[in-house]
Amino acid sequence: MSIVYLGVGQCGTQLLSSFLTQNLNDRRASSYLLDDTNQFRGLLVDAEPKPINRILENSCLKLHLRRNNLLCGRTGCGSNWAFGYFGHVEQGRLNKEAVEAVRRECEKLDYCIGLCLVHSLAGGTGSGLGLRLVEDAVEELDLCLRLTFSVTPHRYGDAPLQSYNSLLTLGRLTQLCESVVLLQNDWLLTQLNCRLPRNWAASSRPPTDPSAMAQMGITVDEMNRLAADQMMNLLAPCDELARDGDSVQADGVRSVHAEPLALNHSLTALSEARFIRVISERARSLNSEKSSCTDWDHMQHLLPTKLRCCPIDATWNLEKPGQRTGCRPLGTLTALLVYRGRLTGLTNPRTRDSDDGRTKERERTGRPTSSSLQRLHDYMRPVRWNPSPFDHWYESRPTAVENSVTLAFNSCCITEDLNCLLYRAQIRRNAKAYLHWYEKFGCTQDTFDAAVEQLRDVVRGYEDLAR
């Protein structure tokens, strides 16, 4: 059972190629991306040739890409969802070629369980053309969209049309897709620069343009690599699965991927709640016995610290610019911790009173201590009706992304971001800003109204689950 990967738009193609490059260094992890002939099981699609040509300059990556699975147009989509979705002759041709390429890839597989889309919500190609492509593939090829990695735009950055594009894409994705992993640009930027809160202190807005990021020593390639790390941590095979202390040993490569949709089963089993957010922390050296006993707890302790620095839209809104409060998830439905690195030296102490003649025991389990797990549990504030909200995945074999802790969670606090997106899009609609750019390609007010209602249904679903 395999998934066909689709990278659409400049962001999607760059991110998926970075993801593939990192997996090529790990033979075990690359097994779920490459077929028997060592060719990538997926497509890279863009409405202009420059990103595709840049990928072809990578001689190592080029060996694993089928040339007829690299599709590009000539004009781009102008950061316009309607141009990418409805388009004209060229976009229609590109979409048909992409659907045909998906069909060819599926026919090479014994059994295709569905599609994984990697794209951006801000641009016209990733949002508009990407959505149209998966809709047509689902309808014509009877496939399921199992997973998307959607890059959300910088709050004050990327494009003047980003609110419209995100609105028109997200609502429909929740109906098509089983899990929508949001890779938030502002969160990626925060994770790359631990000094970010101090740097932001003098400004009411985070640095998003390339020159400001360069002054901080951050590049777009670094953000792509971090996002690719997080994708790999969620998708690569693991040795062991556990839920709140109950573990199930996995068998080699078939561990998580004996059930290829384990991520969906862990985090988005409820149809009302499809959004996943993710942060990660690179662990320090685990070579010594002393560091082994403490590093996982320390790295796990840093996850809430990073979340406190990750802005949410409700606190970076239009009415209160400059007021910043980090994310503390409220009403966490489910959460997943993925540990990758050397686990054998970790200890889980079970202490007995030595004064009574009993010895102090330490059980070598390769797990963080229960106290650190409880601290994270308290910070995430899970809903009352889920007694076991945390799943744990462990991978002790050497991988391309070693010694890391990744936290993925499905939380009701996503409603704050969605409400702010609805608010910003509505402000522009009331002012009739840029609407003629959408109407000229066939996007009507009914299209906007349907997207708004779809997203409001998502918000209401999360609010009901939080009660």
- Give the mean model confidence (pLDDT) for residues 68-87: 90
pLDDT in tens, 357-371: 433 333 444 567 777
Q: What is each CA distance from 384 to 40, 83, 273, 458, 465, in whole angstroms? A: 43, 45, 16, 20, 10
Only one residue has tokens 């996007």, namely: 443
Answer yes or no: are the C-beta atoms of 462 and 414 closer than 8 Å.
yes
- Select from 212, 241, 270 the last residue of a domain: 241
pLDDT at position 253, please? Answer: 37
> What Rg, from alpha-carbon coordinates, does the chain have?
22
Percent of the chain with pLDDT over 70: 76
**pLDDT higher at 188 or 302:** 188
pLDDT at position 398, please? Answer: 60
- Select from 381, 409, 437 the last residue of a domain: 409
pLDDT at position 329, please? Answer: 83
**CATH number of the domain to which 324 belongs:** 3.30.1330
pLDDT band at 372 (very low <50, low <70, confident <90, very high): confident
Per-residue pLDDT for 326 more than 60? Answer: yes
HSE toward the beta carbon, residue 467, CA cutoff 13 A: 5
Percent of the chain with pLDDT over 90: 45
Same domain, 382 and 313: yes
Cα 433 → chain centroid: 30
Q: What is each CA distance from 455 to 103, 134, 170, 461, in whole angstroms? A: 31, 19, 7, 10
Same domain, 217 and 312: no
Greatest CA separation found in the chain?
83
Gap between the Cα atoms of 93 and 159, Å rounded: 26
Residue 270 lies in a domain: no
The 10 Å Cβ neighbour count of residue 435 is 16
Gap between the Cα atoms of 256 and 248, Å rounded: 10
pLDDT in tens, 227-250: 999 998 898 888 776 665 454 444
Residue 431 lies in a domain: no
H or E segment and range at residue 334 = strand 332-340
Domain span including residue 318: 281-409
Same domain, 67 and 145: yes
- Give the mean model confidence (pLDDT) for residues 152-176: 89
Same domain, 183 and 38: yes
Residue 34 lies in a domain: yes
Residue 20 lies in a domain: yes
Same domain, 199 and 300: no
Read off the pTM: 0.86
pLDDT band at 267 (very low <50, low <70, confident <90, very high): very high
Gap between the Cα atoms of 35 and 64, Å rounded: 10
Total structural domains within the chain: 2
pLDDT averaged over every residue in the chain:
80
- Select from 190, 213, 241 the last residue of a domain: 241
H or E segment and range at residue 183 = strand 177-184
Q: How big is the CA angle at 268 (ends 398 and 391), to the nearest 5 degrees?
A: 45
pLDDT at position 111, please? Answer: 86
Answer yes or no: are the C-beta atoms of 172 and 139 closer than 8 Å.
no
- Give the mean model confidence (pLDDT) for residues 158-171: 90
**CATH number of the domain to which 209 belongs:** 3.40.50.1440
Same domain, 179 and 298: no
Cα 465 → chain centroid: 22
Per-residue pLDDT for 328 more than 80? Answer: no
pLDDT in tens, 402-438: 678 899 999 999 998 999 899 999 999 999 999 999 9
Token pair of 426, please?
């509505």
Same domain, 170 and 293: no
pLDDT in tens, 111-157: 889 999 999 999 899 999 999 999 999 999 999 999 999 999 987 76
- Highest mean pLDDT among 133-142, 215-224, 351-360 belongs to 133-142
pLDDT at position 370, please? Answer: 78
Same domain, 236 and 285: no
Residue 356 lies in a domain: yes
pLDDT at position 343, please? Answer: 56
Name residue 362's beta-bridge partners: 349
pLDDT in tens, 35-68: 888 899 999 999 999 999 999 998 788 889 999 9
pLDDT band at 215 (very low <50, low <70, confident <90, very high): low
